[in-house]
Structure 1
Amino acid sequence: MFSLYDYFWFFLIYSFLGWCLEVCFCTVDTGKLVNRGFLNGPVCPIYGFGMSAVLAVLTPVQSSTLALFLGGMVLASVLELAGGWALKKLFHTTWWDYSDQPFNLGGYICLKFSLAWGVCIVAVMRGIQPLVHRLVQALNSTPGRALAVVAGVALLCDIVVTVQALIRLDRDLGAISDVARLLRDGSDAVSERLGTAALRVDAQVDERRPAAEARLDIARAEMLDRRNYVARRLMRAFPQMKNHRYEAAMEQLKDWLKEKKG
């Protein structure tokens, strides 16, 4: 049986290895080097949680390749499903979407990747876990514990910074959406009226438009500011990210990012 200290290091190590896998996959797929992690540091916590769960549940049956494959496939799929659902509920965003894949469930998981997770977990348990286990045993020392404290504090700070950035992103998207709605509602009001009434409404809209457009320009500048690096990085790392409350504002922001990059 593994101790909590062992699981902590398993979590960190596999989070890092998962980040390496994601970066390599995206680099090959897009031809660009992208920090694919949810956090700013070189970690993908979902891989750490996944392998910790695999070690906790499947270690007793690791001698059976079939049990490892089926169990790993189920555990990884459940974790991916739960993670995608939680991110949507907490931050109103979808980070990945398998809707175009056959045999998908809500776009969160699909059969192809579930099978791939099963194969990967068998390979990891057979080839990588023995090496990782020896490394964790070597870290069971005073310097290792000190390093664990530093790594834990750094991870916690990274989580706080990322969550704050996501909350700010949601707020800014709401502001962009409000301004866009103000401009749109004014135009709709003009189109629905005729004659003198239309002229009066049109004049009111013209008076409000410069202020609304100025607010939109300010929002654009703030979103592209260096201080919003985390939000911009996440949107580049997850180009399929969708905000279900402010979908149009999210697409507007993506266009701004493309313009700046171009």
Structure 2
Amino acid sequence: MIWFWTFIFYSLAGYGLEKLYAFAVRARHRVRKCFLLLPLCPVYGLAMVAVLRLAGDTESFWQLALYGGILCTAVEYAVHFLYEKCLGVLFWDYSGTHLDLHRRICFPFAVAWGLLSALAVRLVQPRIAPVLASISPEATLAAVLLLMADSFFTVRLLRRSHNIDLLGLKNLWAELHQI
């Protein structure tokens, strides 16, 4: 149960980071989530669960940053690969960034993910873990069902349209009115 809520928390935090980043760089794609309804970026949640499970006990901050950077980047590569191959969409493209690999990952963001994951493990996780552990099983079940329903409709939409911008309800509504 705690791992589900950890995934949700960091996916939501990742959505917030994506929105800030999009604003800062004036990104063309303003929709910065990966679900139709829920404001979540699952690559962040999956990456942090991997870091916490595999490197969370690391003593040194810099070792944790190194392991976190490697784990987060590996998750980012895998998630991008699956989005591209299974859904026919690209949520990000690092081809314009130095030292990218197949547009899926790049060195500058690997460094950023390493530092952010180490900070999250040291500063954020100790504070949120007790709160996440106290969430009731009923709330967890409701959240799981909501996530499953949103996942189902999101996958259907992306497989049919191959357009990530339709994940914004405003864009989806405009598209539906054109039909």
Fold agreement, TM-score > 0.5: yes
Q: Deviations over 1:63-85 (max 9, x none)?
A: 21122011000001101111111
2:42 matches 1:42: no
> Which structure's relative contact order is higher, taking Cα pairs within 8 Å and 6+ residues apart?
2
Q: Deviations over 1:32-65 (max 9, x none)?
A: 994411102111111111111111001221x211
SS in 1 for 2:113: helix
Pairwise CA distance, 1:233: 3.5
Aligned equivalent of 1:164, options 156, 159, 162: 156
Greater CA deviation, 30-39 or 98-107? 30-39
Q: Give the letter for the 1:74 counterpart.
A: I
Q: Deviations over 1:123-171 (max 9, x none)?
A: 11111111111212332xxxx111111111000000000011112215x
Matches within 5 A, 1:108-147: 108-139=104-135, 144-147=136-139
Matches within 5 A, 1:12-27: 12-27=8-23
1-side partners of 2:127 and 2:99: how far apart? 35
2-side partners of 1:45 and 1:95: how far apart? 11
Structure 2 residue runs of 5 or longer lacking an equivalent are: none
**Match of 1:155?**
147
**Is residue 29–residue 165 contact of structure 2 (8 Å, CA) maintained in 1?**
no
Q: Give the letter for the 1:160 counterpart.
A: F
Q: Under a length normalisation based on structure 2, what TM-score does the superposition of the two structures give?
A: 0.86
**Match of 1:60?**
57
Alignment size in residue pairs: 172
**Is residue 166–residue 231 contact of structure 1 (8 Å, CA) maintained in 2?**
no
Q: Give the letter for the 1:153 counterpart.
A: L
Q: Give the letter for the 2:158 counterpart.
A: L
Matches within 5 A, 1:219-258: 232-233=166-167
2-side partners of 1:27 and 1:158: how far apart? 25
**Is residue 27–residue 33 contact of structure 1 (8 Å, CA) maintained in 2?**
no
2-side partners of 1:75 and 1:123: how far apart? 15
1-side partners of 2:151 and 2:27: how far apart? 28
Q: Give the letter for the 1:148 counterpart.
A: T
**Is residue 76–residue 114 contact of structure 1 (8 Å, CA) maintained in 2?**
yes
**Is residue 11–residue 41 contact of structure 2 (8 Å, CA) maintained in 1?**
yes
**Is residue 169–residue 231 contact of structure 1 (8 Å, CA) maintained in 2?**
no
**Is residue 65–residue 118 contact of structure 2 (8 Å, CA) maintained in 1?**
yes
**Is residue 34–residue 167 contact of structure 2 (8 Å, CA) maintained in 1?**
no
SS in 2 for 1:60: coil
Pairwise CA distance, 1:91: 2.2
Aligned equivalent of 1:87, options 83, 93, 113: 83
Greater helix content: 1
Q: Greater Rg, structure 1 or structure 2?
A: 1
Task: Give the alignment's Cα RMSD to 1 decimal.
Answer: 2.6
Q: Give the letter for the 2:139 counterpart.
A: L
**Match of 2:71?**
75
2-side partners of 1:92 and 1:168: how far apart? 9
